[in-house]
Structure 1
Amino acid sequence: MMRGGLGELTGLLDGTRELYADDTSAIAQLDRWQQRLREPLRLAVAGMVKAGKSTVLNALIGEQIAPTDAGECTRTVTWYRYARTARITARLVGGGEVRLPVTRSDGALVMDLGGRQAEDVARIDVEWPSESLRSTVLIDTPGIASISADVSERSVRFLTPTDAPSEADAILYLLRHIHASDVSFLEAFRDAAAGSSQTINAVALLSRADEIGSGRIDSLLSAARIASRYRQDGALRSLALGCIPVAGLLAEGARTLRENEFSAFQELAGLDRSIRDRMLISVDRFTRPGEQTTLSVQRRAALLDRFGIFGVRLAAALVRGGARSSSALSERMVQQSGLIEVQRFVAEQFRSRATALKARVVVEGVEALLRDDPRAGSDRVLASLERVTANSHDLRELDLLASLRTSGSDLSDDDAVQAERIVGGAGTPALSRLGLPDLATTVQIHDRVEELLARWRSLAEAPLSDRRTVELCRVVVRSLEGAASELGVGRRSDRSAPDVVLAGGPPQRLG
């Protein structure tokens, strides 16, 4: 997080507000930026039609509150925020708002626009008492490249506006395979989300990973290999910080698993193996009447709707493997779904940088305002902007990370990979930056820091290094110093027993 960043930015906005006190439009925009700085990370979920956006969003929240059908609500931009009391509000085009009823059906939230069309609604705000929403505002968007041009345009206009920064701080972009439409959208989002900085603040999710390999138990292993190839893809690498396979339907079902569903999986697991294997050959076979089970055809069909054939196969296997309760089964299914990897990535790459990502929007926005409508005193605010940018190492890291991904550098391939990791390309925790395991000893950390600092200071001082390379090396050195400070590593001292640094904690003495 930007050290002292919020205070500096608040002062910057207050100073700008004084210059534009007579401009109601400018004041309203400054107020929106101020509010944005106070909010949690805004994380949008986007992708082409049928990519599984709503199921992933439900899995992240841990409840079925995002509509997954083809109703009007799936054609609107919907914001999900934390609140103590559930409330749904439709913001209408042209102004005004309408409270919508909070209704559940079979455990899922039902949103009813009351006869209004999606074209009449600017957005829907859902306030919900979910702990998952305390640290993240989630935004569900209509499918891109939809058959309906209006629906697709709604997402594009919201996430990649041409005349303002994007309202999303970062994005989970779901894809089933890399398509030209995916690349075009991610390019536009990168430009809109951070203007000239070209900050990369997207991650690609290889969604519906359970469908790879016809839903076999090893489907996610196949998806992981494909995701690994995608991470090395030139086009995607410059637009997304990573690519993670995720089985959204499995994750949603696991996080909302019901006792009667667990009982059904227990029955399947207890069947004779030949009967069970025959039933699970295909969707058609699983729902065929007359199979040797007490589960009705309707109940089996409901399991497929909730978990897919892969989820049903996996759940039965996990029960056979020792999942003795619904909570144990839920936990193991979540682990298999890829959701934990997505949550970890969001925490390490986006939430840890939330203030810097928001600061980039504010800096770009205020600069544009001063440029388009200069006022007496603009020079003073511009000087403050330059100080904020110069003093914020987090912003410089974002710039360097984007530069390494998009335009490259004069470094060797090995040095470029190392620089990217040190500035947080593989995660912002200090040990990740240093390329060390979670249980690294203090001696190992000290030696690693000294080795890396010597290397990057040497590159910065090399006679043949040009100015751009020198600046790059200085940013890397500053990141190394920050990692060492975070881990409490100073001068080497005599130790009777090695210290161990646990992930997320200070050094601890063993023995």
Structure 2
Amino acid sequence: MTAPTPQIGSVVRVLLRRTIDAYRDSPQAVGWLQHNLNRFDEPLRVAIAGKVKAGKSTLLNALVGEEIAPTDAGECTRIVTWYLDAQVPKVTMFPRSSAPRQLTISRNNGALAFDLQGTPVEQVDKLEVQWPSQSLRTTTLIDTPGIASLSKDTSGRAGAFLAPEDSPSQADAVIYLMRHLHATDVRFLESFFDQGVARATPINTIAVLSRADEIGVGRLDALSSARRIARRYRADEKIRGLCQTVVAVAGLLAQTGRTMRQHEFTALSALAELPRADLDAMLLSVDRFSRTDLATPDSDTRARLMERFGLFGVRLSTTLIRAGMTDPNAIAAELVSRSGLDELRSVLNTQFTERRDLLKARSALLAIDLVLTREPRPASAPLAAEVERILSGAHEFSELRLLSTIRSGAVKLPVEALTEAERLLGGDGGSASARLGLEPTAGPEELWAAALDAVARWQRRAESPMSGRVVSDVARLVVRSCEGVLAGLRR
């Protein structure tokens, strides 16, 4: 549905301004509210979270298309780091007890490296990396420390940023990386679940089965296995109730594909010329690949290839070269295509970018709710009532609540009907074509006919004497979503 998201953004902006007027005598409240009002004009804030070694920084680099996030286990990976688009590269450190300081930028094997100038990690609040990037113009990415880390300070930093106890998170949405689904992952997803406002809606979370190429010990069918596991997780009612979807991505393969260099292609070509049995034997393990006695490429080059490509990436690249692919750009594109990055970017677009104003409205309502709770006063009663009115009356939030209810298994309908209801409610994206299950290139007449057909079908279900109250309520809300599609097409 194309119209409601901007509308709810406008409604919440007005409410923010009203709340600012009501709290003019409280500088702290006004500053907080004004900050959230300004956020409507900023790129969407998406945090990347997960346990240590889940591949967060690697995935961030893949999304940006440059190695701007340190991926080693250095001190910078223990600090919340913001990546924003800017005209000129700049890295700023924000100490907790002193003024911000600009850091020197250097490169280490092609990747950015930051020098904290002797400042202990424990005394740094955050790092801010400004970098010219098309990918960062619509989305600010936030790299967070690993949760469930052996270091309580590191793990505490991640929790304090992503799910603070006394205020809403600074992120509008989160990409949560997991290598396998563990109890720790479920607990984190539950902690980041909508707090205080728009409860029971997993709108702001996407789960990623990361390092997917390592499933199956780097075999060429590893990504197929990972995608099957991701589909199984997507079908789990518990997971469906905590995140929008689960996507399998080989982050290292994606990062390397987007940043591949000519000398790496040359080294891979030399490996592809080896007898197949010899290369297969080398690729039995990382240690064997690096230590095998071979003049070209030498051991140092092979060690670096393993860091950049991994076993799966080397095996896939050499297989492609043997199959006749001799253009390094074509190899790089194939690595990205097979990594699952394109699927993730598509999901980010449909679930986050298309819902930009709705996500920001949710963050703003959380901010207003916090002020009204912390500083109650008689003048705030109408504001609290307006927050409740928006939450209960805004169709966008009603859609999200119903999506969550359907995914929890609480609605009893035929599988085909449930699948269509999810899609019409925006579960696969907010555009008219996504809701109607049509190609993005579908014309207005095709969209109009499909929307009319959906309205009629779900109206019959709502009015059927065979439908119970729950099913009738679900059908009426789906009809309203379809009518919203028609209204958008009419405009």
The normalised TM-score by structure 1 is: 0.88
Equivalent residues in 2 for 1:49-60, closer than 5 Å: 49-60=52-63
- d(CA) in 2 for partners of 1:354 and 1:272? 52
Distance 2:310 2:16 in 1: 50
SS in 1 for 2:293: coil
When structure 1 is superposed on structure 2, of 138-147 and 359-368 the one drifting more is 359-368
Is the Cα–Cα contact under 8 Å of residues 166 and 193 in structure 1 kept in the other structure? no
CA 1:19/1:443 → structure 2, altered by over 3 Å: closer, same or farther? closer
Q: Which residue of 2 aligns with 1:217?
A: 220
Would the aligned equivalents of 1:238 and 1:405 in 2 still touch at CA under 8 Å? yes
Partner of 1:123: 126
1:500 alignment counterpart: none
Give the secondary-structure state (helix, strand or coil) at the position aligned to 1:127. strand
What are the Cα deviations for residues 114-161 of structure 1, in whole angstroms up to 9, with x where unaligned? 112221011111111111101111011111111111211111111111
- AA matched with 2:221: D
1:108 aligns with 2:111: yes
User: CA shift at 1:475, angstroms?
Assistant: 2.6
1:171 is displaced (CA, Å) by 1.2
Of 208-217 and 383-392, more deviation after overlay is shown by: 383-392
Structure 1 residue 305: deviation in Å?
Answer: 0.7
Partner of 1:161: 164
Aligned partner of residue 196 in structure 1, secondary structure: coil
- The residue identity in structure 1 corresponding to 2:123 is D
The aligned counterpart of 1:176 is: 179
**What are the equivalent positions in structure 2 for 1:135-214 lying under 5 Å apart?**
135-192=138-195, 194=197, 196-214=199-217
1:284 is aligned to 2:287: yes
Of 455, 460, 465, the residue aligned with 1:458 is 460
1:410 Cα deviation after fit: 4.8
Aligned-residue RMSD, C-alpha: 2.5
The letter for the 1-side match of 2:288 is: R
- 2:328 aligned with 1:318: no
Quote the Cα distance in structure 2 between the aligned partners of 1:104 and 1:17: 45
Match for residue 340 of structure 1?
342
Counterpart of 2:264?
A: 261
Distance 2:250 2:139 in 1: 21
- Counterpart of 1:245 (choices 234, 237, 248) is 248
- Residue of structure 1 equivalent to 2:419: 417
Of 395, 407, 410 in structure 2, the residue corresponding to residue 408 of structure 1 is 410
Instruction: For 1:98 and 1:405, locate their aligned partners in 2 and report how far apart those are by CA, in whole Å.
Output: 47
The structure 2 residue matched to 1:433, chosen from 428, 432, 435, is 435
Asked if the contact 1:167–1:193 (Cα under 8 Å) also holds between the matched residues in 2, the reply is no
Report the CA distance shift for 1:471/1:375 in structure 2 as closer, same or farther (over 3 A): farther
- Asked whether 1:361 is paired with 2:366, we answer no
The answer to whether the 8 A contact 1:164-1:192 is kept is no
1: CA distance, partners of 2:375 / 2:471: 36
The one-letter amino acid of 2:49's match is A
CA distance in 2, matches of 1:191, 1:442: 36
Question: Which residue of the partner structure matches residue 28 of structure 1?
Answer: 31
Moved more, 38-47 or 191-200: 191-200
Q: Is the 8 A contact 2:448 2:489 kept in 1?
A: no
**Residue in 2 that maps onto 1:306:** 308
Structure 2 distance, partners of 1:9, 1:350, is 18
Give yes or no for the alignment of 1:12 onto 2:49: no
CA contact (8 A) 2:282 2:292 kept: no
Identity %: 45
1:227-238 correspondence runs (5 A): 227-238=230-241
Change over 3 Å in CA distance of 1:469–1:21 after alignment to 2: farther
Distance in 2 (CA, whole Å) between partners of 1:187 and 1:73 is 27
Aligned AA (1:321):
A
Distance in 2 (CA, whole Å) between partners of 1:132 and 1:60 is 7
Judging changes above 3 Å, is the alpha-carbon distance between structure 1 residues 230 and 333 closer, same or farther for their aligned structure 2 residues? same
Distance 2:488 2:244 in 1: 23
CA distance in 2, matches of 1:441, 1:366: 41
Q: Distance in 2 between matches of 1:128 and 1:399?
A: 37
Cα distance in 1 for residues equivalent to 2:148 and 2:384 = 40
Contact 2:202–2:243 (CA<8 Å) still a contact in 1? no
Higher RCO (CA-CA < 8 Å; seq separation 6+): 2
- In structure 2, runs of 5+ residues without a counterpart are none
Mean Cα displacement is larger for which, 217-226 or 313-322?
Answer: 313-322
Is 1:64 aligned to 2:94, yes or no?
no
- Mapped to 2, the partners of 1:470 and 1:113 lie a distance apart of 60
Counterpart-to-counterpart distance in 2, 1:321 and 1:360: 50
Distance apart, 1:182 and its partner CA: 0.3
Q: Does the aligned pair in 1 maintain the 2:305–2:314 contact within 8 Å?
A: yes
Q: Structure 1 pair 439/13, CA: closer, same or farther in 2 (3 Å)?
A: closer
User: Kindly tell me: are residues 371 and 52 of structure 1, through their superposed partners in 2, closer, same or farther at Cα, counting changes over 3 Å?
Assistant: closer
Name whichever of 456-465 and 130-139 sits farther off: 456-465
Residues 488, 23 of structure 1: CA spacing in aligned structure 2 closer, same or farther, 3 A cutoff?
Answer: closer
- Which of 469, 472, 475 in structure 2 is aligned with 1:473? 475
Residues 1:39 and 2:42 aligned together? yes
Deviations 1:328-361 (A, max 9, x none): 2111110011111111100011111011011012
2:26 is aligned with what amino acid?
D
Q: Which moved more, 1:320-329 or 1:240-249?
A: 320-329
Task: Return the offset for 1:10.
Answer: 2.4
Distance 1:339 1:380 in 2: 46
Counterpart contact for 2:462–2:472, Cα < 8 Å: yes
Q: What is the aligned counterpart of 2:89 among 76, 79, 86?
A: 86
1:383 shift after superposition: 5.3
Residues 356-405 of structure 1, C-alpha deviation per residue, up to 9 Å, x if partnerless? 01101212332342344344543443455456546643333223222333
User: Within 5 A, what are the aligned runs for 1:444-455?
Assistant: 445=447, 448-455=450-457
Q: Structure 1: how far apart are the matches of 2:350 and 2:442?
A: 19
Residue aligned with 1:172, SS: strand
After superposition, what is the alpha-carbon deviation per residue over 1:302-351, rounded to whole angstroms, capped at 9, x for unaligned? 10011101101111122233433222211111001111111110001111
Residue 223 of structure 1: CA displacement? 0.9
Q: 2:237 touches 2:408 (CA, 8 Å); kept in 1?
A: no
What is the total number of aligned residue pairs between the two structures? 488
Q: Aligned partners of 1:487 and 1:313: how far apart in 2?
A: 49
3-state SS of 1:45 partner: strand
Deviation string, structure 1 residues 412-431 (Cα, Å, up to 9, x no partner): 54433321121111223323
Whether the 8 Å CA contact 1:191–1:198 is kept in 2: the answer is yes
In the TM superposition, residue 463 of structure 1 has moved relative to its aligned partner by 5.0
Does the 8 Å CA contact 1:165/1:195 hold for their aligned counterparts? no
Counterparts in 2 of 1:495-506, with a 5 A limit? none
Q: Which sections of structure 1, spanning at least 5 residues, go unmatched? A: 490-511
Q: How far, CA to CA, are the matches of 1:468 and 1:378 in structure 2? A: 35
